[in-house]
Chain A
């Protein structure tokens, strides 16, 4: 089996460009071929060279087959909402791009100004997959978006105005400054502290001591500000936060340090306190960083899709994005356009496809006075609609809002860690107070203070607070690099508890569009078969017609003939005269003058990697179930091909039934792509949207696979299981450590100084445990490199 030159996907039926007569460069689909041709035309063939040389960075090239006009990006509403003036007062916009993966993408995108007049400067941030583009005078955003889309990088405008984006950068820089100062302070203090530990005496000890105090001040009173702020907020909201004991330890440490300096005692805890500040800030910074990365939920907020519609203003029509429509607007909907909001048809009779909302695949006849709903598709003539609701208030808009409101959930294990930390904090306070009071009642105030302080320092729950977020962060960022975009931490924990996997059929395990798989010519015809097909099917928009046209083009149809008496019966077929002959195409048969001349069958092909993916999931002890809205016969066949058994196949399932099935299954993973999956995806225990999913499913799902097919799902499950092993290991480690250290502090086995040394050690242990991971996890997160090697050998 060969692989596609462009996207590296395995190919069943390769296609070749018309120039490529020797069939050297195989492609899997027209989308890839189109992108290849665009690059070739622009003289950018070097893309493939760079791609193939980028070794481990090499990843599948993106393909976006859906063409969009993006004309709405030129409307003043859009420009004022999404663009801003950069420092050179050029109009600038940020796009989140899907499919950014390697060096070649960077090359291609930063070269935009060379082949697109509209662009002045184009800068890509690979980490966030965000490109910042400034316009030349007279340039249009729609041209840029179209170009990016054609190249396979689907653009999503980010609602960034100068203030908010620069605010974020400012914030990040401030955080970096704090970390840097803390690191420098901690490092320098270590230098002098070691001298004191090593036994510096007299004036040297005093000078060193003074120096540690000086270096500690910016750390404690500048870098540590976030802790004080959080602690103060927690106190004001009457909650407990781990920042409270940290703040108290820091302030107490500062007080004792300065007090000791004045009284001439060469002893302080600044070495461990500053190290603590540094490590905590660092881990929080990385955690924040990963949460901003890629398709995080908050970024998705700004995404919206949909082409512009024609709005009637006076007697003319104006291009406008559905987002800016209001009720009572009159809009024109043409063939194959999605209706953006609920309304009533004013003019025109047409067929409306409701499958998105109801799952029904048979279109409905609609005429003036009939109601139409958002998210439905116009399959017939142009119609005029008077809107009764704005897009937001429409049915689809409401589903979307429901989906969005379900996002803001916190990971339960992170939550658990936080809860444990809170109890922990409370317990430590009570113990420390009790300890102090006990010694106070005995009249040993100094010893009481010392023991309580030791306890506070040694039990700082940072090992606890650090371990889980760090492990999650590491897994999330590595997974994102493999093309598995996980929206929240929660998913990892849930995936490790999985029992059942529900698979959608169309577009998930299959390619999602019909293809002619078998064309048998039964007897000679007056015209070449491909020409008959392409002539008759030329006008139809039925998916079968599209498949037949594609087939005819591929098999070299030369000429499109005029068809007289053309008739299309919806759902049945087409017929008409070419010259004197009467042709018919219906139900998998082609007729010439009522004589059958050819037979064909259409099928939505199963992706080559689907069966393996299903097997792998089953090998992990998971129950794989197919759940599809399609007819029983088709679903059974495809499920059979994947090796699924009868009781695990559900066909003709409506979106509501899907939802009910998923909701009744407490540990189910739902994998889907379509709008009829969206509700199930949003309510599922865990949900995965595959590449090419509809906007709404993308929003609903917890995980988004940016690689084609479902082959990454089993890897995702493995990664989650291994990550949970590390998390549990870390929690155990830090709990054991804390119990031992509390005991030691309580009984006075250790002094504050020893406590200050042990405390960072415990954090380091956990950090180390996180970084070394497990053998299996490391292999999983690296597995890509091996894949590439295998592919190279194959080719």
Chain B
């Protein structure tokens, strides 16, 4: 059971790290729009092809 004295602080640190990460992302506005970026990523490819065609 001694190992738990190491595991618990690790678990807490992990939890804190994720909370801090979440706060950071929220403040930066990463969660403001959840729908559009998911679609936008699909367009990146088509974007390039059109530019090539134009050139």
Contacts and interface: CB of A to CB of B under 8 A. Distances in A.
Nearest to B4: A204
Interface residues of B, number: 26
A169 B32 contact: yes
A282 interface: no
B32 A184 contact: no
A181 B19 contact: yes
A50 interface: yes
Interface in A156-210: 169, 172-173, 176-177, 180-181, 184, 187-188, 191, 204, 207
Contacts of B34: 127
Nearest to B49: A46
A588 B8 CA distance: 89
A124 interface: yes
Contact of A173 (B26, B40, B46): B26
Nearest to B16: A184
Contact of A107 (B18, B26, B35, B46): B46
A172 B27 CA distance: 10
A219 to B, nearest CB: 11
A180 B23 contact: yes
Contacts of B8: 207, 211
A46 B39 CA distance: 16
A211 B33 CA distance: 35
A127 B19 contact: no
A548 B22 CA distance: 63
B6 interface: no
B23 A126 contact: no
B33 A127 contact: yes
B32 A180 contact: no
A127 B35 contact: yes
A188 B15 contact: yes
A211 B8 CA distance: 10
A180 B16 CA distance: 12
| A46, A50, A173 interface centre (most CB from chain B within 10 Å) | A173
B46 A184 contact: no
Contact of B19 (A103, A107, A173, A180): A180
B21 to A, nearest CB: 10
Contacts of A191: 11
B42 interface: yes
B50 A46 contact: yes
Nearest to A123: B36
Contacts of A173: 26-27, 29, 31-32
Contact of A106 (B11, B26, B32, B43): B43
A177 B33 contact: no
Interface in A39-56: 43, 46, 49-50
A457 to B, nearest CB: 26
Nearest to A106: B39
B54 interface: yes
Contact of A169 (B1, B11, B23, B29): B29
B39 A43 contact: no
A110 interface: yes
A162 B31 CA distance: 19
Interface string A100-134: 00010011001000000000000111110000000
A67 to B, nearest CB: 28
A43 B54 contact: yes
A124 B33 CA distance: 10
A184 B18 contact: yes
B18 A176 contact: no
A46 B46 contact: yes
A501 to B, nearest CB: 34
Contacts of A125: 33, 35-36
Given A177-B23, A184-B18, A107 B33 contact: no
A126 B35 CA distance: 6
A97 to B, nearest CB: 13
A57 B39 CA distance: 10
B39 to A, nearest CB: 5
A103 B39 contact: yes
Contacts of B15: 184, 187-188
A275 to B, nearest CB: 16
B4 A103 contact: no
B31 to A, nearest CB: 6
Interface in B39-55: 39-40, 42-43, 46, 50, 54
Nearest to B23: A177
A549 B33 CA distance: 47
Contacts of B54: 43
Contacts of A127: 33-36
A107 B43 contact: yes
Contact of B36 (A106, A177, A188): A106
Interface of B: 1, 4, 8, 11-12, 15, 18-19, 22-23, 26-27, 29, 31-36, 39-40, 42-43, 46, 50, 54
23 contacts: A46-B50, A49-B46, A103-B39, A103-B43, A106-B40, A127-B33, A169-B29, A169-B32, A173-B26, A173-B27, A173-B29, A173-B31, A173-B32, A176-B31, A177-B22, A180-B19, A180-B26, A181-B19, A184-B15, A184-B18, A191-B11, A204-B1, A211-B8
* Minimum-distance CB pairs A-B, first 6: A127-B35, A126-B36, A180-B22, A126-B35, A184-B19, A125-B33
